[in-house]
Chains A and B, each alone.
Chain A
Amino acid sequence: MSEMSSDKTTKTDRVGVYICYCGGNISDHVDVEAVRNRVEKMPGVAVARTEMFMCSDPGQEMIIEDLKSGKIDRVVVASCAPSLHETTFRDAIKRAGSNPFIYEHANIREQVSWVHHGDTATNKATVLIASATAKAKRLKPLDPIRVEAKKHTTIIGGGVAGIKTALDIAQTGIEVTLIEKSGILGGQLNHLDRLAPSGEKASDILQEFLDQIVNYKNITIHTNCIIENVTGYVGNFRLDVVTKSDNKKFNIDTGAIVMATGSVSYTPYDGEYGFGRHEQVIVLKDLIHILKENKSSGSVLEVNGKPIKNMVMIHCVGSRQIPGIHKPKENGKLNEYCSRTCCAAMLNASNQIRENFPGTGIYEMYRDIRTYGRGQEALYTQASKNKVVFMRYEADALPEITPSPLPDYPLQVKIKDSLTFNEEMDVPVDLVVLATGIEPDDVSGLASMMKLPIGTDQFLLEVHPKLRPVEFPITGVFLAGTCQAPMDAGEACNAAGAAAVKASALLRKGYIELDPFVAQVDIDKCQGHGACVEACLKEGALELIETTIEGKIHKKARVTAALCLGCGACAAVCPEKAIDINGWALKQYEDMVDAIVSDGFAV
């Protein structure tokens, strides 16, 4: 797409301003009706309305009706951060039959009501809306830019989430490359046995997936590989990959990327519940391994050749940590989240033991039992039927593990049981199992290469947990599975399905429509100085051409829109102010500053 056109937009005076209460998120701190009253009187504002939730259907309908009736021809919505709903409102405008780019957003939640209070917040919201209105008046209808996109997706991480994403994308005919840093696919599932809540074998599920993968010629798998660099942009990413074994380097050109880097099991610190000090203290993953490998058929479970008469399972180890109570890691962080999978996995293991080795007694010591998913509560009921003894500890009175005074038992666990009115009890045991939770795998290197946000819990952070749950703010990069948050294998597969659909939909057409925010030349003003061409950062995006106007040859700047980055380096240097960025024009910023300095008067 290459064009030369004149930029002759004048200011409109039919701006519609819509102010959101956000169900109290905004209106608890900003006097929304007072803002509306002020905004309504601002020059150029045709209507100013408020709504409990602007993003709701009635909110969007309001905009659509005003556009259709011709009351307004520009739209400003004052609500949450534009990253959340800019597209929502642009789509609403489209549904009204108008051009989606006549829209401007005022961020009065993240940047006002959540950080300022009282009159200050109300005043600042007013000024920000005035400033957005000033910009909106100079907005003009624009057409999106087409970018060719490679019909190829790269999935990073070959756990169940990565495998499922690969399969679902491959089904749509799009090429897939799956990169796994270890030698095998399957991730955590390789270490698990019978999965809660269904009792299916993890190895069976994995095998079923792997059998399917073989059928897809459009899936390429690289194991033992490290990603060294990621460059490019949506539709045209490039990954520099190196093999661990022979340091061989290769590139992958890809249209989209899915992060499925998963999680690791928490490792207790030395001495945490006696871990590392007593060999009889093990973690859940070890117990699962023992059950998986166990061939004995006696009535008592044997571990390392020793019969387990009594065992204690301690929940929430390395999860739900509380500042001041639990010891932070070296980086000062605590795992304050619930790992969500350990309760069900513990109960699942207890049931297996009680049903196969009735001579082994089990005490489950929990803070809360969180069997939240379908089929999980049944595990708890079953454990009660299986005569698992439940005891409950509070976070400020953690169970203590010490050597047992009884000759028949190596250890005892002291607990203040809140189910029996804080009675202190010593439980003699042969084995202690710690329900260690989930921690994200360290992907800080990849995250900084791709500018992916990481939450305070150290898991990768989606754009929004409900509105855009499998997307990053970087267009074309998605996430799935336990790299995002603790989830069980079923939930990881759900997320994988969602990420696959998102990636496939993005690449399906082989091109992507990008926002039309590129440079545009006002040919009447352009004198052909060429300063813009010199300042331009992108080879080929801007050039000087000769054109004949009324019989005379003139030099004029010409933009190639598909190459233009829209950064505005050109706009800054033009002595004639003959080039500017569509949708983000310098002139608009000047008007916004005027609105700000005058507290909204000079709109």
Chain B
Amino acid sequence: MMSPQAKRQENKILILATETCAYPGADSVGQTHSSYPANTYILRVRAPVLFPESFYIDCFKKGISGIIVMSCGEECPYEGAYKAMAKRLDSVYKKMKAMKLDLKRLRLTAICTVCNRAFLNEVKQMDQLVQELGPPQLMA
């Protein structure tokens, strides 16, 4: 196990990637051996509509610097899920605003199974942002 000293104060980016689109999209980036920042942690999700508002806020409280929701977009295999999730994120944004969290820390985007360039772009932009902002200063 890493020693506590080695515990990096990293600006961590959480990526919620849909199993039918964005997650294989991230694999496709791997297949081309294109490098991207390593502070990215990709969680395979069926549909991000699973996550309540509190999940996002708790992530920031736990010290996650940025979250990218990589969905299938309007073409989500779960009909209606995308709209419901987008609506949910609107209220997460309201909460973030009230907590004085930079809204750019949470980003919703559509990534397909072969959207390599879009994936790399999103990751790069979020990385630049969190390097600038640092981890959110909230108490868990």
Chain A: residues with CB nearer than 8 A to chain B?
38, 41-42, 81-83, 107, 109-111, 114-117, 120-121, 123-124, 126-128, 131, 233, 451, 453-454, 473, 517, 535, 537, 565-569, 571-573, 581, 584, 586, 589-590, 592-594, 596-601
Other A-B pairs beyond A107-B44, A110-B27, A569-B49, 14, CB < 8 Å: A115-B29, A124-B38, A131-B41, A454-B114, A565-B81, A567-B50, A569-B84, A572-B49, A586-B52, A593-B14, A597-B12, A597-B63, A601-B1, A601-B4
Q: How far is the CA of A566 from the CA of B43 in the complex (A)?
A: 17
CB-based nearest B residue for A449:
B75
| In the complex with contacts A111-B26, A111-B30, A115-B36, A600-B50 CB distance below 8 A | no
CB of A533 to closest CB in B, whole Å: 14
* Complex: chain B residue closest to A122, CB-CB: B2
Chain A residues, CB < 8 A from B38: 115-116, 120-121, 123-124
B33 in contact with A567 (CB, 8 Å): no
Nearest 3 pairs between A and B by C-beta?
A568-B50, A110-B30, A567-B78
Give Cα distance in the complex from A327 to B61, angstroms: 54
A537 touches B46 (CB 8 A): no
Given A451-B20, A535-B84, CB of A589 within 8 Å of CB of B43 = yes
Say if the beta carbon of B45 comes within 8 Å of chain A.
yes
Q: Is the CB of A126 within 8 A of B79?
A: no
Roughly how many angstroms separate A458 CA and B47 CA in the complex, as a whole number?
A: 29
The reply to whether A581 and B27 form a contact with Cβ atoms under 8 Å apart is: no
Knowing A454-B114, A573-B52, the reply to whether A568 touches B30 (Cβ < 8 A) is: no
A517 touching B46 by the CB < 8 A rule? yes
State the CA gap A128–B88 with chains docked (Å).
27
Known: A453-B113, A537-B81. A569 touches B8 (CB 8 A): no
B97 close to chain A: CB less than 8 A: no
Chain B residues within 8 Å of chain A by Cβ, number = 49
Interface residues of B in 27-80 (CB under 8 A from A): 27-31, 33-36, 38, 41-47, 49-52, 55, 58-59, 62-64, 75, 77-80
Whether A110 contacts B43 by the Cβ 8 Å rule is no
- Choose one: A109, A121, A567, A594; the contact of B62 (CB below 8 Å): A594
Chain B 6-30 interface mask (CB, 8 Å, partner A; 1/0)? 0110001010000011001011111
**Inter-subunit contact A537/B78 (CB<8 Å):** yes
Which residues from chain A contact B20 at a C-beta distance below 8 Å? 451, 473
Name the B residues within 8 Å of A107 (CB-CB).
Answer: 27, 42, 44
Chain B residues positioned under 8 Å from A565 (CB to CB): 47, 78, 81
Partner of B46, one of A38, A566, A596: A566
A42 touches B1 (CB 8 A): yes
Q: How far is the CA of A567 from the CA of B48 in the complex (A)?
A: 8
- CB proximity of B32 to chain A, nearest CB, Å: 8
Q: Using CB atoms, name the residue of chain A closest to B83.
A: A537
Interchain residue pairs with CB less than 8 A apart (30): A41-B1, A81-B27, A81-B30, A82-B44, A83-B27, A110-B26, A114-B31, A114-B33, A115-B34, A115-B36, A115-B38, A116-B35, A124-B38, A124-B41, A131-B43, A517-B46, A537-B79, A566-B46, A567-B49, A567-B78, A568-B47, A568-B50, A569-B49, A572-B51, A581-B46, A592-B43, A593-B43, A593-B59, A596-B12, A601-B2
Are B1 and A596 touching (Cβ within 8 A)? no
Shortest CB distance B28–A (Å): 8
Asked if residues B55 and A590 are in contact (CB atoms below 8 Å), the reply is yes
Residues of A within 8 A of B28 (CB): 453
With CB as the reference atom, state the residue of chain B lying closest to A82: B44
What is the bound-complex CA distance between A517 and B20, given in angstroms? 14
- Say yes or no: B30 contacts A572, CB within 8 Å: no
Q: How far is the CA of A517 from the CA of B38 in the complex (A)?
A: 30
A589 to B41 alpha-carbon distance, docked (Å): 12
How long is the Cα–Cα vector from A251 to B88 in the complex, in angstroms? 36
Within 8 Å CB of B31, what residues of A?
110, 114
Residue with the highest number of chain B CB atoms closer than 10 Å, among A566, A573, A589, A592:
A589
A114-B30, A597-B63 in contact; A571/B46 too (CB < 8 A)?
no
